[in-house]
């Protein structure tokens, strides 16, 4: 029994040794990533790889479940996986060396592959995970040897269990003073050596790893550059007419504050790009390759635009939609600088992190459509998480085919020759927005008091405009809602109906009609391959 308890105790400390070795691996990798290649963080690279390979239904589940915190959930899951794998590696190294080191080397190889296969990585990007693997393996071997020495000596010091004859006097266990002095000394030295190295390596890994990640996230002065950036005054501004915003408590504002604007992208960490070094390349099926700086964009003259954006992952009644005032230049004017070939039909836009989107060329060159390169959002330079310094904004198309953030390239091409990030993952190459409507208040699941109360929300049909919104209560007659005064056809409108609420449970349905006379699609459709559809039906409880 004593030997079994001793064995379990050493399994525990072997797992601790594995955790410390894993921490050393990550800490050393983070340190050298900071020094040599910022994109070479193993956790972030593996996280990006997971995002790329996860099947489409799981992506939808993550967005629907965690919303804008989906990346935090992914990193937490990866962290748990690292803890489990490290603990197993430590136990294997104690029981069957060098299997623990093999586990660590495999993890290092996988993270190295995930790093070097990412777009736009530094030629030295392989160095941080390799050095991290070596450091982690060395620590694991040293800790396992000390632990094994402690275990061997401790096991030897536990007397074998004997079963005396009935007539034999009871055998007393030898005290530590009766054990061989060398065995006791070996056990003490092994234990002290193990704990000392564990403490030094563990504390060092935490300090170095956390400090490197914090410095990596804050050393860039891009945020301070963004805050200090003064953009030229726009040549034209958006005129917001009287009655464009209704005074209804609980109703979404006409313009979504930047801090509340939805964010859905594939970047685990927000790219930080100095506008002084930023370049936009226009190439592909063009008369001449063009390279533009941030100042070149500003020198074209800025105009203000009011545009609502919608994510393809937005469920019926969802919140992955928002409106903003954008400052930018028409993409058609940028493309004219390169001269577009007549047989092209698509522009493949690329982000600095390698993400790509396929936008129909006609949507970018249409004189009646305000597809822009945006540099500002709601009166300030683009926030870092929304694409600073330059992003695309195209009304009438879901973001995954049009709203590329941290833009770095516009490749004029065809849908036959190229495909974007989401196309092989189950989404349509072209994705016009399905116009929709939403109830904002009363909130689903919140009880209201009986009496006169407004039912209100928003509706959008970018590039076409909303003609009317209708509301039905308990499957009754459709009632026309009062609309706000539209800013333009690219911006959502607010709506409301006054309702005499009676106690009980009621169902409220909403639908919209666009300016072409089309009725919002009633049939339910999932997010993939080209956006959800259906009328929102909400359950309202009245006290």
What's the CA gap between 366 and 363, in Å, rounded? 6
- Whether residue 7 lies inside any domain: the answer is yes
- Whether residue 44 lies inside any domain: the answer is yes
User: Is residue 532 over pLDDT 50?
Assistant: yes
Domain stop point among 425, 443, 474? 425
Residues 198 and 297 in one domain: no
What's the CA gap between 275 and 220, in Å, rounded? 12
Which helix or strand (DSSP H or E) is residue 479 part of? strand 479-480
Strands (E), 29-76: none
User: Is residue 157 over pLDDT 50?
Assistant: yes
- DSSP sequence for 407-459: EEEEEEE-TTT---TTGGGT--SS-B---EEEEEESPTT--B-SEEEEEEEEE
What the block records as the tokens of 345 is 């039909």
User: Is residue 364 over pLDDT 50?
Assistant: yes
What the block records as the tokens of 76 is 């937490």
| pLDDT band at residue 81 under the 50/70/90 scheme | confident
Nearest 5°: phi and psi at 485?
-75, 120
What the block records as the tokens of 46 is 């593996």
- Domain total in the chain: 2
User: Is residue 524 over pLDDT 60?
Assistant: yes
**Per residue in 187-205, pLDDT tens?**
666 678 888 888 998 888 8
Once rounded to an integer, what is the mean pLDDT over residues 43-67? 67
Return the number of other C-beta atoms located less than 10 Å from residue 486's C-beta: 18
What the block records as the tokens of 522 is 């009633």
User: Is residue 505 over pLDDT 80?
Assistant: yes
- Whether residue 365 lies inside any domain: the answer is yes
What's the CA gap between 383 and 375, in Å, rounded? 9
Lowest mean pLDDT among 216-225, 261-270, 444-453, 502-511: 216-225
Residues 186 and 279 in one domain: no
- Whether residue 73 lies inside any domain: the answer is yes
Residues 20 and 79 in one domain: yes
Residues 140 and 280 in one domain: no
Q: Name residues whose C-beta falls within 8 Å of residue 350's C-beta, 6 or more positions apart in sequence.
A: 356, 404, 407, 408, 409, 410, 411
What's the CA gap between 345 and 537, in Å, rounded? 39
Give percent of the chain above pLDDT 90. 56
- Whether residue 94 lies inside any domain: the answer is yes
Q: Which residue has the tokens 């409507």?
A: 437
Give percent of the chain above pLDDT 70. 84
What's the CA gap between 282 and 150, in Å, rounded? 65
Q: Residue 366 in contact with residue 332, Cβ under 8 Å?
A: yes
- Whether residue 486 lies inside any domain: the answer is no
Question: What CATH code is carried by the domain that includes residue 392?
Answer: 3.90.420.10
User: Is residue 158 over pLDDT 60?
Assistant: no
What's the CA gap between 100 and 476, in Å, rounded? 68
- Whether residue 388 lies inside any domain: the answer is yes
Domain span at 65: 2-155+181-218
User: Is residue 495 over pLDDT 90?
Assistant: yes
Residues 303 and 407 in one domain: yes
Q: Residue 280 in contact with residue 292, Cβ under 8 Å?
A: yes
What the block records as the tokens of 79 is 């962290």
What's the CA gap between 393 and 395, in Å, rounded? 7
Return the number of other C-beta atoms located less than 10 Å from residue 81's C-beta: 13
User: Is residue 168 over pLDDT 80?
Assistant: no
- Whether residue 248 lies inside any domain: the answer is no
**Per residue in 298-320, pLDDT tens?**
999 999 999 999 999 999 999 99
Residues 207 and 338 in one domain: no
Nearest to 278 by CA among 226, 242, 314, 321: 226
Q: What is the pLDDT of residue 80?
A: 83
What the block records as the tokens of 369 is 């459509």
């Amino acid at each position: 029994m004593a030997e079994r308890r001793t064995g379990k105790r050493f399994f525990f400390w072997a797992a601790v040794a594995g955790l410390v070795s894993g921490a050393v691996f990550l800490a050393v990798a983070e340190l050298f990533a900071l020094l040599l290649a910022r994109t070479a963080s193993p956790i972030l690279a593996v996280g990006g790889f997971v995002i790329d390979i996860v099947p489409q239904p799981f992506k939808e589940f993550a967005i629907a479940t965690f919303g804008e915190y989906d990346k935090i959930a992914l990193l937490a899951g990866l962290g748990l996986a690292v803890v489990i794998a490290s603990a197993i590696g430590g136990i294997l190294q104690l029981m069957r060396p060098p299997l623990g080191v093999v586990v660590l080397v495999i993890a290092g190889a996988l993270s190295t592959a995930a790093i070097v296969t990412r777009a736009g990585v530094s030629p030295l990007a392989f160095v941080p995970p390799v050095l991290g693997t070596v450091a982690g393996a060395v620590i694991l071997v040293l800790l396992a040897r000390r632990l094994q020495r402690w275990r061997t000596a401790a096991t030897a010091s536990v007397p074998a269990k004997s079963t005396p004859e009935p007539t034999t006097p009871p055998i007393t266990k030898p005290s530590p003073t009766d054990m061989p002095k060398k065995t006791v000394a070996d056990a003490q030295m092994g234990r002290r050596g193990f704990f000392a190295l564990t403490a030094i390596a563990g504390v060092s890994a935490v300090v170095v790893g956390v400090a490197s990640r914090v410095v990596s996230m804050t050393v860039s002065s891009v945020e301070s550059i963004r805050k200090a950036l003064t953009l030229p005054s726009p040549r034209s501004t958006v005129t917001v007419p009287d009655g464009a915003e209704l005074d209804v408590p609980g109703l979404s504002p006409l313009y979504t504050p930047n801090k509340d604007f939805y964010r859905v992208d594939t970047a685990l960490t927000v790219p930080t790009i100095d506008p002084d070094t930023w370049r936009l390349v226009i190439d592909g099926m063009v008369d001449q390759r063009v390279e533009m700086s941030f100042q070149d964009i500003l020198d074209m003259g800025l105009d203000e635009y009011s545009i609502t954006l919608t994510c393809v992952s937005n469920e019926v009644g969802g919140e992955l939609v928002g409106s903003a005032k954008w400052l930018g230049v028409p993409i058609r004017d940028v493309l004219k600088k390169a001269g577009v070939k007549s047989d092209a039909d698509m522009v493949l836009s690329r982000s600095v992190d390698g993400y790509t989107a396929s936008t129909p060329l006609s949507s970018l060159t249409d004189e009646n459509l305000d597809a822009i390169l945006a540099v500002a959002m709601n009166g300030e330079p683009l926030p870092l998480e929304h694409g600073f310094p330059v992003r695309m904004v195209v009304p009438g198309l879901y973001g995954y085919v049009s709203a590329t953030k941290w833009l770095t390239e516009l490749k004029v091409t065809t849908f036959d020759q190229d495909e974007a990030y989401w196309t092989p993952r189950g989404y349509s190459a072209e994705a016009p927005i399905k116009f929709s409507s939403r109830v904002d208040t009363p909130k689903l699941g919140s009880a209201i008091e009986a009496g006169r109360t407004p039912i209100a929300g928003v509706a959008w049909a970018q590039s076409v405009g909303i003609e009317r919104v209708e509301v039905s209560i308990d499957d009754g007659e459709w009632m026309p809602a009062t609309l706000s005064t539209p800013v333009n056809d690219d911006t959502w409108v607010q709506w409301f109906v006054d309702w005499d609420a009676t106690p009980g449970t009621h169902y409220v349905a909403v639908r919209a009609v666009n300016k072409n006379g089309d009725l919002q699609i009633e049939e339910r459709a999932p997010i993939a391959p080209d956006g959800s559809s259906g009328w929102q039906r909400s359950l309202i409880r009245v006290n």
